[in-house]
């Protein structure tokens, strides 16, 4: 049984505020926003984390990044934004389904960690 929260958001059994969807990816607002705009972009395929990206599944990651310019523009992020990926325990990844945070809507602080 798949108890992945993001798989359940993808299949609609957990509701979300969707921003963008196509056959490969979904973007939705983070339930615990850390910036005025905080959106998550996920592949529909369950990939646990950045550490599991391979030649075989990397196309969806490229697809996400090709969609980010239009998604961010649709969110009004015309003056820049930050893309964050947390990976594994030391990276404080809490949901084990690959996702990229899009943060913006204000001048973010300059710290990475």
User: Catalytic residue numbers?
Assistant: 99
Q: Least CB distance from residue 23 to ligand DGP, whole Å? A: 20
The closest of 9, 25, 93, 8 to 59, measured between CA atoms, is 25
The residue from 32, 54, 79, 109 that contacts ligand DGP (CB under 6 A) is 32
Measured from the CB atom, the residue of 3 and 78 that comes closer to ligand DGP is 3
The residue from 10, 25, 47, 93 that contacts ligand DGP (CB under 6 A) is 93
**Taking contact as CB under 6 A, which single stretch among the options 22-30, 53-61, 67-75, 102-110 is the one that binds ligand DGP?**
22-30
The closest of 36, 7, 30 to 18, measured between CA atoms, is 30
d(Cα 53, Cα 35) in Å, to the nearest integer? 27
How many residues sit close enough to ligand DGP to count as binding (CB under 6 A)? Answer: 14
The closest of 59, 52, 74, 69 to 23, measured between CA atoms, is 59
Measured from the CB atom, the residue of 38 and 72 that comes closer to ligand DGP is 38
Is 7 a binding residue for ligand DGP by CB under 6 A? The answer is no
Contact 38, 103 (CB under 8 A): yes
The closest of 110, 79, 92 to 32, measured between CA atoms, is 92
Residues that bind ligand DGP (CB under 6 A): 5, 14, 16, 28-32, 40, 86, 92-95
């Amino acid at each position: 049984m798949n108890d992945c929260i993001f798989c359940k958001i993808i299949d609609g059994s957990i509701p979300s505020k969707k921003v963008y969807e196509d056959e490969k990816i979904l973007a939705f607002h983070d339930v615990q926003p850390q910036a005025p705009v905080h959106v998550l972009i996920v592949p529909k395929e369950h990939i646990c984390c950045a550490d599991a990206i391979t030649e075989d599944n990397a196309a969806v990651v490229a697809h996400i990044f090709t969609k980010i310019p239009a998604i961010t523009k649709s969110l009004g992020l015309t003056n820049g934004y930050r893309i964050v990926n947390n990976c594994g325990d030391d990276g404080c990844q809490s949901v084990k389904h690959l996702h990229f945070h899009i943060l913006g809507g204000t001048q973010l602080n300059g710290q990475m960690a």
